[in-house]
Amino acid sequence: MKQGWRGQYYRYRGYFLDILNLYKKRSDLRAFVEVILSISTVTIFLVFALKPTALTIISLVKEIKGKQTAISGLNQKISDLSKAQALFIQNQDFISNIDIAVETKPEPDTITKQIIGLSVKNSVNILGLSIGQVSLIGKPVLVNVVSGSKPLPGNAQEMSVSINIQGDYLNMLSFISDFESLRIASKIDLVGINSSEADGAKVINMLVSARIPFLGNGLP
């Protein structure tokens, strides 16, 4: 066993010495080996020394892109705010009408006066004018609306109004048009028309059912 081991040793030793002698004698072989060693050294350096740096650079690039996206979003928000401010300034004269259009609490006296004014303007007679149940003080009450009517948007409270007018048909149409154009917001749910004869003359009556929205947060 020993002799076998020694034989193998001397055999490989001879191979190694032959290669070493060949390496010393041939300059081209030495140059090739040196190039291979240099390339191996550079490769090892790149893998173990530059890899952390490369990973850091990649991480920084991703972070920069993320911040650029955030900056782009902020610039868009700034642009939107600037447009909103310009629109606010442009419509500043109309903003004061918002509180008039939708009151914080019901104002039956105000809407009654405006309806009477419209009847005079359009030469129609008011046969009846009623305001539905509404709380002027305290907790708002639930009211029954016309069947099929949709709830007012924004969870607004409502005050129902019923108007019975008589007069020329075109004048009554003009009355309804003016009613819808009031600065006080309204929602007409029903318009009913009936005609009859009195003293040989044709009489036209019109019934208008509407709702006036209010916020309800101004009630004590």
Which tens digits make up the pLDDT trace of 47-103? Answer: 777 777 778 888 888 888 888 888 988 889 999 999 988 887 887 766 666 666 667
Query: How does DSSP classify residue 155?
Result: G
Which pLDDT belongs to residue 1? 45
Q: How far apart are the first and last CA of the chain?
A: 112
Q: Tell me the two tokens of residue 186.
A: 């309204």
Is the pLDDT at 218 greater than 70? The verdict is no
What ranges do the domains of the chain cover?
2-71, 101-214
Which tens digits make up the pLDDT trace of 146-195? Answer: 555 676 766 677 888 899 999 999 999 999 999 988 888 888 888 899 88
Which tens digits make up the pLDDT trace of 121-143? Answer: 999 999 999 888 776 665 655 55
Is the pLDDT at 16 greater than 60? The verdict is yes
Query: Any alpha helices (H) in 26-107, and if so which ranges?
Result: 27-45, 51-90, 92-95, 98-101
Which pLDDT belongs to residue 166? 92
Which pLDDT belongs to residue 142? 56
Fold of the CATH domain 101-214: Alpha-Beta Plaits (3.30.70)
CA distance 196 to 19: 129
Q: Tell me the two tokens of residue 3.
A: 């002799």
